[in-house]
Structure 1
Amino acid sequence: MSFWSRDYVAAVASFHLALERLEGSGFEVSHRRLLIDQSGPQEENLAIDVALIGPKHASRWVMVSSGVHGVEGFAGSAIQLSILAKLQTLPDDTALALIHIVNPYGMAWLRRVNESNVDLNRNMLLPGEEYSGEPDGYAALSPLINEQEPPKKKDGFLRRAMLFVAKHGFANVKQAFSEGQYERPKCLQFGGGKLEKSSVVLLEWLEENISGVKRCVWIDLHTGLGKAGNDTLLVEFAPSDPILSKLRSHYGKRITSLDPEAGVAYRIRGGLQAGVEARFPDIEWTSITQEFGTVGPYAVIAALRSENQWTQWGDKSGRETLNHWSRDKLLATFNLKKPKWEEKLIIRGRKLFADALTDLAGEQKKVLDFQWERN
């Protein structure tokens, strides 16, 4: 059985069918579509699908989210569908919350950002924090990554990028690029000027459903960072924090700090998980970003750069926007069309989900059959 969808419409249809099957097997399922007032290339209404599986008043949640970065949602959706296909039971007083495609516009139109060019993983600033500023070094980096002209397939970017990194240092450039900026709306890594529609409707749904939850393990699914097919489990703790050691004792050595000196990661502003945690401080959170590697960092930035140049300065209209080599390149950059890569993601995604359940409930029950079936 393949869990991979050809487009946003197919992914949503598969998600709805999986929920219906699960409900038919006896699970308690609550499902809603959170509309964002946007349309896709097939004139479809775009929405975040949210589902709560298990007792509505459970005090423990495992929450799995996908598609915060739009085009990365193909992989995240596949993992969520595989979890639904294998789910047999849940521990007592435990529910599974699924947030399917946080950025439906980005997935439908093959962008990493939303309809306002906003990175939704830089949009959830902490309460009281202002939507202003940019990282040290971004002003110097901007002319390289934000050229104001249509993209070219060959423009010497790789050579210029390597020279820039040699001058400023890889960790410094990585942090300047990735942290999030709030001054340049047409440029890469823009975090917005206010909470975006997707952020607002998701927070409203959480307000309605999470009040009785005391403990939540949250897995947010991404692709792009690290060695192809390998997953890194990113958490918001310093390398010296004893909580990091505790997490590694349960989840393994792939647990990594977001400190830019500690590995492939970087510190960010406006992260979805940190922003939600700050708004629901009475919950004991364990938030993990599961990041699956695809291609190298220069290739990732090159793809993001070309696609944004096309979006901002290309000669296009309507569906023509989608049918461009830069969108195809972005899709290929974050979704390797290789069976081994896809298989690895499904296995590791389900494994982390099971680890999250045992983190909440110990070895209370056998939850999933993890033997990968090739059919």
Structure 2
Amino acid sequence: MNDTVLNAANRHFAADYFEARQRFRDCVQETAAGEMAVYPSPARGPRGEELSTDVAWFGDRRAPKLGIMVSATHGVEGYCGSAAQLDWLEQRGYAALKSDEAMLLVHALNPYGFAWDRRVTQEGCDLNRNFVDFNAPLPNNEAYDLLADSLVPRELDGPALEAAEATIEKFRATRGELALRKARTSGQYRHPTGMFFGGFCPSVARQTLEQIVADYDVESRRLVLVLDYHTGLGPYGYGELQCEQASGMSGYERARSIFGPSVTSPDLGTSSAVVLNGTQDDYWQRILGDRHVYICVEFGTYSPETARSALRADHWLYAYRQDQVETEVGYQIRRRVRQHFYPETDDWKEMVLYRSRQVQRQMIEGLRL
């Protein structure tokens, strides 16, 4: 049988969070080479199901060099990351590890968002804006404050929506598209039902990652390479390798030495993302400094305006129509969000796994530099 990348993709992309979790657990157990751990979540699924972040370790627990693959930082984006992790397991990627190397797979870091097809955590946080120091003054986003009621209006049609769009278009016309993107996506800390809300305190998912890091003594490692899987931004199907500003230009140069010149940086203006507050790399930079390389593997889907519309509907539902979450209105909104962040098309899935295999290979090679 000719086992193509497409065949593998069709095996590994799951129908929902629960299937993805079970496949991950089964695959780790079948390898007999990794050790599993389960981190239960206090959140529940759409039918009251138990949720969890599942972890697998491969290699010597004392290995000084460690690779980490994270899926579902942004919940609904977990279809992609989970499939990439399953593919690495099926391809026996762990067999390539040398005696001083190990791999840590973090499956469904934000299980609530994965199970409910939302980007946010159960607290309504964008987890990738939640890694700020909450003991210090929080980042200010005055532009979001101006647009908050327009980005998530009380109604999704009629005069209220028309007025909201007029306000956004005026902002775009006077300040530019880049300023609008920064206002909307860089992170805000005042509007808990709004978009890209970074939270008022560490979320449960953030605390889960911190507990995993403590349990596996990640801070003691000499070198840590992190692949954090995301979707929804950039050209359709392309896996952009994004650095974050937290690591600065030195982090970018470290990443470029391992993953090549396709690595992008917000400091250079080459990234499809703007400079963000409170990203996961803020955390890795705090605890590891120049002993780490963080890459956000961002697979593009559809246009930013498609994302804005889908996320507006999602936030509107939970802000103003909680009683409709489990109605046809809620189901339609959930499908829209899922479709934007997980195109269930053969070409997209094939592109994801092809690029992921390349990046995973580079990661293993990078542990040896």
**Fold shared, TM-score > 0.5 on shorter chain:** yes
Gaps of 5+ in 2: 1-7
Q: What letter matches 1:149 in structure 2? A: E
Greater displacement, 223-232 / 308-317: 308-317
Mark the CA change 1:66 to 1:321 in structure 2 (over 3 Å): closer, same or farther. farther
CA distance in 2, matches of 1:33, 1:307: 29
Match of 1:89 in 2: 96
CA distance in 2, matches of 1:188, 1:134: 15
2:54 to 44, 49, 54: 49
Match of 1:3 in 2: 12
Does the residue aligned with 2:358 lie in a helix, a strand or coil?
Answer: helix
Does the residue aligned with 1:361 lie in a helix, a strand or coil?
Answer: coil
Gaps of 5+ in 1: 363-375
1:60, 1:360 within 8 Å by CA — same for their partners in 2?
A: yes
1:11, 1:77 within 8 Å by CA — same for their partners in 2?
A: yes
| CA deviation after TM superposition for structure 1 residue 324, in Å | 2.3
1:111 and 2:118 equivalent? yes
1:151, 1:309 within 8 Å by CA — same for their partners in 2?
A: no
Q: What letter matches 1:294 in structure 2? A: T
Match of 1:64 in 2: 69
CA distance in 2, matches of 1:272, 1:212: 18
Greater displacement, 200-209 / 96-105: 200-209
Match of 2:146 in 1: 140
CA distance in 2, matches of 1:54, 1:238: 29
1:258 to 263, 266, 271: 266
**Aligned 1:1-375 pairs, distance under 5 A:** 1=8, 2-23=11-32, 27=33, 29-87=34-92, 88-126=95-133, 128-130=135-137, 132-149=138-155, 161-162=168-169, 164-209=171-216, 210-237=218-245, 241=249, 244-245=252-253, 247-259=255-267, 261-278=269-286, 280-281=287-288, 284-314=291-321, 316=323, 319-320=326-327, 323-362=330-369
Mark the CA change 1:300 to 1:160 in structure 2 (over 3 Å): closer, same or farther. farther
| CA deviation after TM superposition for structure 1 residue 162, in Å | 4.9
Does the residue aligned with 1:50 lie in a helix, a strand or coil?
Answer: strand
CA distance in 1, matches of 2:146, 2:134: 29
Q: What letter matches 2:24 in structure 1? A: F
1:62, 1:95 within 8 Å by CA — same for their partners in 2?
A: yes
Q: What letter matches 2:155 in structure 1? A: E
Match of 2:4 in 1: none
1:171, 1:261 within 8 Å by CA — same for their partners in 2?
A: no
| CA deviation after TM superposition for structure 1 residue 240, in Å | 9.2
| CA deviation after TM superposition for structure 1 residue 191, in Å | 0.9
CA RMSD, aligned part only?
Answer: 2.5
Q: How many aligned residue pairs are there?
A: 355
CA distance in 1, matches of 2:282, 2:194: 23
Q: Deviations over 1:24-66 (max 9, x none)?
A: xxx2x22111112111023221111111111111111110001
Higher helix share: 2
CA distance in 2, matches of 1:237, 1:202: 20
Mark the CA change 1:216 to 1:127 in structure 2 (over 3 Å): closer, same or farther. farther
CA distance in 2, matches of 1:138, 1:120: 18
Q: What letter matches 2:58 in structure 1? A: I
